[in-house]
Amino acid sequence: MKAKVFHLAAPILDKETTRAFYGDLLGCTQGREAERWIDYDFFGHQLSFHLADMSHDSEPTNAVDGKDVPVRHFGAVLEWNDWEALADKLRAAGTEFIIEPYIRFEGEVGEQATMFFMDPSGNALEFKSFKDESQIFAT
């Protein structure tokens, strides 16, 4: 079975900073909206944000390639040039990275470009790219 579109729901603190971050900065198209939620076309997938009280004081991390990767995160796999353009755009916007853009697993199976940063509500995002897309699910 193969899904056509992935759906993910995540908590947010307020809709306006979410709208500015996902719509203006990342360039995602807004979908439906109600008083306590807002949807986005997140690189071809449905991302729903719901207003919620939350705390990220003790989010767990795992050591990957010598860096602390947030266990709970989401993102997208982009084309290589699109990944580089997004990294440049985020740097120009003064984004504070959890993990600066770099090449992970260089010269190994699964070599990829990756970067981690938080949205305004504290949700961790990872954007990555593979020069060889056959490596996405390589073991």
Say yes or no: 11 and 70 in one domain: no
Q: Is residue 1 part of a domain?
A: no
Number of domains in the chain: 2
Q: What is the pLDDT of residue 57?
A: 64
Q: Is residue 78 part of a domain?
A: yes
Tokens for 76, please give them: 């997208």
Q: What is the pLDDT of residue 94?
A: 97
Say yes or no: 43 and 80 in one domain: no
- Which of the residue ranges 11-25, 86-100, 125-139 would you say has the lowest mean pLDDT? 125-139
Say yes or no: 72 and 125 in one domain: yes
Q: Is residue 113 part of a domain?
A: yes
Does 28 have pLDDT greater than 70?
yes
Say yes or no: 44 and 74 in one domain: no
Q: How large is the average pLDDT for residues 87-100?
A: 97
Q: What is the pLDDT of residue 56?
A: 58
Q: What residues make up the domain containing 37? A: 7-51
- Residue 63 CA to residue 71 CA, distance in Å, equals 10
- Which of the residue ranges 3-17, 53-67, 71-85 would you say has the lowest mean pLDDT? 53-67
Q: What is the pLDDT of residue 73?
A: 93
Q: Is residue 56 part of a domain?
A: no
Does 127 have pLDDT greater than 80?
yes
Q: Is residue 131 part of a domain?
A: yes
Mean pLDDT over all residues of the chain? 91
Q: How large is the average pLDDT for residues 11-37?
A: 96
Report yes or no: 82 and 128 within 8 Å, Cβ to Cβ.
Answer: no
Say yes or no: 90 and 71 in one domain: yes
Q: Is residue 116 part of a domain?
A: yes
More confidently predicted of 3 and 36: 36
CA distances 63 to 25, 60, 67, 99, 101, Å, are 28, 10, 5, 12, 16
Q: Is residue 29 part of a domain?
A: yes
Q: Which of 9, 128, 123 is nearest to 71 (CA)?
A: 123
pLDDT for 102-122, tens place per residue? 999 888 888 999 999 999 999
Q: Is residue 88 part of a domain?
A: yes
CATH number for the domain harbouring residue 122:
3.10.180.10
